[in-house]
Structure 1
Amino acid sequence: MLVSRRALLMGSVSLALVPSFAVQAADISKEARELIETLGVQAIGTINDDKLGEIDRREKFTKLLVDGFDIPAIARFCLGRYWRGASDEQKAAYQSAFQQMIVAVYATRFREYRGVAFSVVNSRNEGDDHAIVTSSLQPPTSSQAAKIEWRVLRPQGKVKVVDVIVEGVSMSLTQQQDFAAAMQSNGGDLDRFIAELKKRAAA
């Protein structure tokens, strides 16, 4: 059987593309690991810097979270089905309130990690543009380290954290359940819920 010149050309192109796709899939775990190592070093440094005031410390945490986390995607996931019914104005207000709340929560929570030793244990691919990075937090006063996993995606060519899993518990899923309960208790009033998020951020 004769094979057309066009078919041979297309086959050659297809074969040439296979290695590049394989490299792309392999690279995500390396990029993800580097991201978490950088975030960990910067976060611990910010926590332990006694020269920083509370305002400066929060500003640094804000930059860390905005640069390293896909906050818009996390916010949409946490709001669940209520996102679809929101107006553009409500979505914008919610995204802003969510970011303020997340920064406040993590800035407060990270104070508990003064003096801890942070290390990345491993990083593995979960598919194209998707990786899980496992890290360890070793408190100075305990022999038992905490296991933290970071779900990292590369949706637009840049790796970002979309979930933090602490000892097997997804923070994004937990937050989604918390938000769903709050929305159900207030009758699905998103404006009221956004106001509540702002209060949490200011607390």
Structure 2
Amino acid sequence: MFPKKFLVLVFLVFLFLFSPKNLTFNNSYATSDPGAYVMEITKNAIDTLTNESVDIEKKKSQFGELFDKNFDVPSISRFVLGKYWKQASLDQKKEFIKAFRNYVVKTYSSRFSDYAGEQLKLVDFENEKNPKIFLVHTILERQDAPLIKVDWRIGKKKDKFVILDIIIEGISLAVTQRSEFVSVIDQNGGSVDKLISLLKEKS
């Protein structure tokens, strides 16, 4: 559904997010520093996702657990469904959230073997107009390749940080996904069920 170049960059970010790399992190900053939180996500994934004794299916399951823990799936689902969220029934919303979640997990959990030593470097972070929303600026370093600018929209819910969006080289993953999903629904006579079915097929 994504342009090929953008999809490759998204893969790199997700691969790094749930792949091994030597990061230093002080847990005492986790609840107050959104920048440290972004770095912590990778650190917390190392033991579970790089254990060679764990088979690929188990790693996919663990990826799903990490995704559920660190991404605000309901809020992201509401955003990417765009204008059709208000039109959808309660049952459709529940089905879409589940289908969208499974689609994302399936798409990225199959790419673990593509990790090639990328390193994530924290630059800084800033508040958006909403005091509970932060924009964390990072750089993804690749060997013999240009740096990739990666920004993270981080929200704070009940004293816990969650990821709302990832912006890669100025392109929002959430906005791009919303454009694709709304287009699919538009092309199918406004049928949210059709989009849900397509996501299930890809999961």
**Structure 2-normalised TM-score?**
0.76
Residue in structure 2 matched with residue 180 of structure 1 by the alignment: 182
**Structure 1-normalised TM-score?**
0.76
Deviation at 1:157, TM superposition (A): 2.9
Q: Which amino acid aligns with 2:114?
A: E
Residue in structure 1 matched with residue 153 of structure 2 by the alignment: 151
Question: Any unmatched runs of 5+ in structure 2?
Answer: 1-28
Residue in structure 2 matched with residue 138 of structure 1 by the alignment: 141
| In 1: Cα distance, 2:190 partner to 2:72 partner | 25
- Could you say what the CA RMSD is over the residues aligned between the two structures, in angstroms? 2.3
Residue in structure 1 matched with residue 36 of structure 2 by the alignment: 34
Deviation at 1:102, TM superposition (A): 1.2
Cα deviations by residue, 1:162-190 (Å, 9 ceiling, x for unpaired): 00000110000000000011101111111
Question: Any unmatched runs of 5+ in structure 1?
Answer: 1-26
| In 2: Cα distance, 1:44 partner to 1:146 partner | 22
The alpha-carbon distance between structure 1 residues 113 and 135, as it changes in their structure 2 partners (threshold 3 A), is: farther
Answer yes or no: is the 8 Å Cα contact 1:183–1:193 preserved in 2.
yes
Cα deviations by residue, 1:137-179 (Å, 9 ceiling, x for unpaired): 222x324221111001114332111000001100000000000
More helix by share: 1
Q: In the comparison of the two structures, how many residue pairs are matched?
A: 174
| Correspondences of 1:39-118 after superposition (within 5 Å) | 39-43=41-45, 48-109=50-111, 111-118=113-120
Residue in structure 2 matched with residue 195 of structure 1 by the alignment: 197
Query: Which has the greater radius of gyration?
Result: 1
Answer yes or no: is the 8 Å Cα contact 2:125–2:136 preserved in 1.
yes
Answer yes or no: is the 8 Å Cα contact 1:30–1:123 preserved in 2.
no
Residue in structure 1 matched with residue 126 of structure 2 by the alignment: 124
Answer yes or no: is the 8 Å Cα contact 1:32–1:152 preserved in 2.
yes
The alpha-carbon distance between structure 1 residues 29 and 171, as it changes in their structure 2 partners (threshold 3 A), is: farther
The alpha-carbon distance between structure 1 residues 147 and 79, as it changes in their structure 2 partners (threshold 3 A), is: same
